[in-house]
Structures are given as C-alpha cells and as structure tokens.
Structure 1
C-alpha cells in the first residue's frame, strides 16, 4: 500500500479564528494558548518525494513558512472565493522568482474566475482544467459541483489509488442525491462544518453544521470522517457531538491515506 499522507494546514472558515472583532471565549483562547487558532482551510498531500496542496487562501505564505517549505509545484482549487485563492498572487510571485511555472488545477469555470480576478497569473502558471479528471502523484482524481448555499457553488474532489478512496469537500450544504453519490462508502471524507449548530436562517447559510453533517454521514457511510472549515463557534477543547468515526481537524494533524 502507498505511504501517502494528508496534512491539515488550515482548518478555519472564511474569516479564520480568532475573528479580529471578537472577544468570545473561543477567539480569546485562540489569541493566548492558541488551541482554537485556525488559518483558512487548506491541506497538503505528500506522496514520497511529491506533494500537492488543495486550496491557496490568504494564509498560504504563513503555512509555507511554518512548514519550512520554499517551493510548491502543484495546487488544486475547489472554488474561486477569497479564502481559497487569496494566496495565489504570492504563489505566483514565488514561481516567478524560482523561474518555474506552477501547475494550477481546477474546473474550467473556476479557472476563468481566477483569471478574471488575477489576470497576470497565467504568466507564472500552467492552468489545467480538470472537468474530465486528472492523475496527480498516482491519484486518479475526479471532481463535481456541490451546493454552497447562499455562496453559490464549490467543487468536491474524489481521489482513488491502490484501493483507497477519499473525498475533500470543504464548502457545501444540503447536497442533492446526485451530489451525495460520490461520497458513499469512501474510506475518508473531509467535510466542512462551520458550526456545531447554526441558528441563522437556512437561506443565509453556506456550509453544513455538525448536526446536519451527522445526518449526511448516516446516509453516505464513510469509513472515517474529519471535519474542517470551522468557525469560532467550534471549541475543540470541549466535547463535541461527533458520531463514531469522526474527529475534528487541527492544524498539523496528519492522516495516512491507506487502509
């Protein structure tokens, strides 16, 4: 079996934790001991000498410095919201100074949105649409559009290699039966859950809460699940309503991608 690993670099929602304006218990703790401190959601997959990242938010540079890594060649993007692409100009600049084009992968409509926001990026990057699939570091990768509530849509990624299947789906809510289908029976599901229980009107929301996620998991039955994309509503010091086989991600946590 492969020895590939998944490392959580950021586990926060769009605003991260602490919120600059907030003095709640979670934000206060995040400023001191930092157990709840969360950068914007991003992960790194390491496959021997090869690695790639999923999403490149505005905390990308800090993540790279924290890892002591000076170079990243491959990046998958789930959707073109700032918390998932805000670091692309810094990655582009790194590529420029290293005189090597980065390889950016996303669905065609997401690439179009990225170029509209950062029109200079194609000078430093090879931009490859992945609507029809992709092979990267031995992983067979497919993607599909998922409901992102009031924020429109995102994409989820499904990875298969040597009999192991996992899905990264950081930004979604109220998935349709068709959108749920690729989640069924996977070995690992990484799922965004911004709140333990969000009380805002459903029409204003964009990501599952943990109560809704538990209902989804009971239906699609992954072997194990990791929650990410968490707001300051989630206090990892406290006992959380987690179904069996579920844990919450913390920065630096590593999961082995094999059975």
Structure 2
C-alpha cells in the first residue's frame, strides 16, 4: 500500500448538525467555521481508491466541497438516518461508473432496502434511480478493498450493534457507547483513531467526553480525533485547548495524512 492515506472529515456533527435549526444555543450562533458541523461522514483516499464511511443527508454538499472523480464504495456503520439518508445522492457517481458498492451489516441492508426500495430493486427499475452492488459485513470477517483488508470492529450504540472500520493504521468509530475487550484488541497499534464524543453530560447511547477520553487511554493510538459532536460539547477552540496533546476535535473538511 502507498504510504500516503488521506482522511477527509466530510462531517463531524451529531444527528441534527450544528447549528441546530432554530436553536439559540451559543455554539449554534458561533461564527467560527469549526463550530459549523454537517452530519458525520469521512472520506478515505489512497492510491486511486476513494471510500466513504456513512452517507448522511449532507452527502451532496460534502461531495461538492470535497470533490472526487470516482467513488469506490460506501461502508455503513449502522442504519440511522444521519448516516444513511444521503444514499440517493450517489446518482452522479452511478451515472459515470455503474452500480456503486455498499458494505453493511445484513440488518442495515434490510433497513436500506425498505427505505430505498427503488435503489435496491432488481426489476422494474426507474431509469433515473441509482443502483448498488451489495456486500454484507460480518464480525471477524475482513473486507478486501483495493489492496487493503479492512477490519470491521463491532461496538454498541446503546443496544444497537454498529460497526467501526480499520483501514491499515486508521480506525474510524462513531455512535459508540460500549466496545468489548476482544474488539479493542483489533484497534491496538493504530496510528490514528477517530471516535465519537457527543457532549459533557452522560448520554444513553454515545460516549460523552469523559468516556471518550477513557477509551483513548485504553486504545493507545498515536493521535485521536473526536467526531459526532453536538453543540453541548462547547466551542471548538475552547474544548480543543483542554484536551490532551495527542487528542483533537475533528472539524468539517479537516484533512489528515497517514
């Protein structure tokens, strides 16, 4: 594998994004661009490959801001709308390339089939609809993508199973509340970890800041970036100053290289 992998944070916000519609919260009123967060998604690029993890309702806007000529596939963490609702906007890629590969747990694929039946239909297809090439993702079964074997990492979002993914020395996890020890072993040795840190107060299905920092200690990655951030975490610049030296808040359109 080429030693340069580029990670582009397409979105780093929670399910409603920041600013939240109609909110007078001080962070939602901030003029700092780093406090404006689209729904979570990340683009992973190496050699000629481009893969996206999650495809939320801001996907079109994200692709216009961070244009790529080719999309080799989408990996889904889980089925919630802020991670999946932009799938119709793969159409420009489909028109140029043909069926777009998608990778997800069978349960997530079932949900997508119900909600986007016209995309997953085998016959009587609407001529303008995109189509996908479906790949099921299972715990303990690596996914060959390009010249990489990508490792699914199982976690829990309250009671809902979700997948994180390890691409070489890069690990991306979001909407995580609990990770078993056997899965943490799959993360060890990563240079870059991305994980959710929703807010200061505890939450029933997400790491809060304290839990995210405890997870950082357990994993021991060289650098960690927090994502899936709500206004309740605070102003980007103020929170960033309080974090350990090797821990950062991600922000929309941040690019990092491995």
TM-score w.r.t. structure 2 length? 0.87
Cα deviation digits, residues 198-218 of structure 1 (max 9, x gap): 14xx5xx21111111111222
Map 1:93-108; keep pairs closer than 5 Å.
93-98=91-96, 100-108=98-106
Question: Are 1:220 and 2:219 matched, yes or no?
Answer: yes
Question: Hey, what does 2:154 align to over in structure 1?
Answer: 145
Cα deviation digits, residues 117-143 of structure 1 (max 9, x gap): 211222511011132221213221121
Relative to structure 1, is the Cα distance of residues 23 and 111 closer, same or farther in structure 2, using a 3 angstrom cutoff? same
Contact 1:153 1:172 in 2 (8 A): no
Cα deviation digits, residues 153-193 of structure 1 (max 9, x gap): 21111222xxxx22110110132323323222321111011
In structure 2, stretches of 5+ residues that fail to align are 122-130
Kindly report structure 1 stretches of 4+ aligned residues shifted beyond 6 Å. Answer: none
Question: Hey, what does 1:198 align to over in structure 2?
Answer: 201
Cα deviation digits, residues 217-258 of structure 1 (max 9, x gap): 22221121111110012311214432231111111111112x
Relative to structure 1, is the Cα distance of residues 117 and 252 closer, same or farther in structure 2, using a 3 angstrom cutoff? same
Distance in 2 (CA, whole Å) between partners of 1:217 and 1:96 is: 38
Distance in 1 (CA, whole Å) between partners of 2:187 and 2:69 is: 34
Cα deviation digits, residues 86-130 of structure 1 (max 9, x gap): 001221x33554361111111222222211221122251101113
Question: Hey, what does 2:117 align to over in structure 1?
Answer: 119
In structure 1, stretches of 5+ residues that fail to align are none
Question: Hey, what does 1:77 align to over in structure 2?
Answer: 76
Distance in 2 (CA, whole Å) between partners of 1:146 and 1:238 is: 29
SS for the counterpart of 1:174 is coil
Contact 2:154 2:179 in 1 (8 A): no
TM-score w.r.t. structure 1 length? 0.87
SS for the counterpart of 2:251 is coil
SS for the counterpart of 1:250 is coil
Question: Are 1:183 and 2:190 matched, yes or no?
Answer: no
Question: Hey, what does 2:35 align to over in structure 1?
Answer: 36
Distance in 1 (CA, whole Å) between partners of 2:191 and 2:226 is: 14
Relative to structure 1, is the Cα distance of residues 101 and 225 closer, same or farther in structure 2, using a 3 angstrom cutoff? same
Question: Hey, what does 2:126 align to over in structure 1?
Answer: none
